[in-house]
Amino acid sequence: MRWRDAFAIGGESALAPKSHHGRPSKLDAVQQQRLLLALNHGARFWDFPTDEWNCPRVKILIRRLFGIDYHVDYVGTTLHRLGWSVHQVEYRARERNEAAIAAWRREEWPRLKKEDQTAS
């Protein structure tokens, strides 16, 4: 009924989809570019203890640079819109021997898989 009434009042153009952009960003285009430049310096440059970015840290950085408060959950949306994506930090032991791991995967792992199949 709504579509019929809309068509009767406004014709085909009344049935065209309408975009709902939501609330505009608190950061304008210039501020967004400044944020990207600041992020590219790394977190240590901004006196964080490690060089990884996370939403709470970016929230603090936005507050320092622009005096704007963002909800920490919305920071991820903003970063995604700016082309940044989430990455999990992969911690590895300093003593890790990549050559030994590759050899084990190449030689031992296939043998263990074969043994497991024969046990079934």
pLDDT of residue 120: 60
Residue spans of the domains in the chain: they are 27-119
pLDDT of residue 119: 63
What percent of the chain stands above pLDDT 70? 95
Q: What is the pLDDT of residues 14-47, one digit of tens each?
A: 888 887 777 888 999 999 999 999 999 999 999 9
Output the pTM of the full model.
Answer: 0.59
Which burial class, exposed, middle or buried, applies to 57 when counting CB atoms under 10 A from its CB (0-12, 13-18, 19+)? middle
For residue 68, pLDDT over 90 is answered with yes
Gyration radius (Cα) of the chain, Å: 26
Between 87 and 94, the more confident residue is 94
Tokens found for residue 98: 């990549």
pLDDT of residue 93: 86
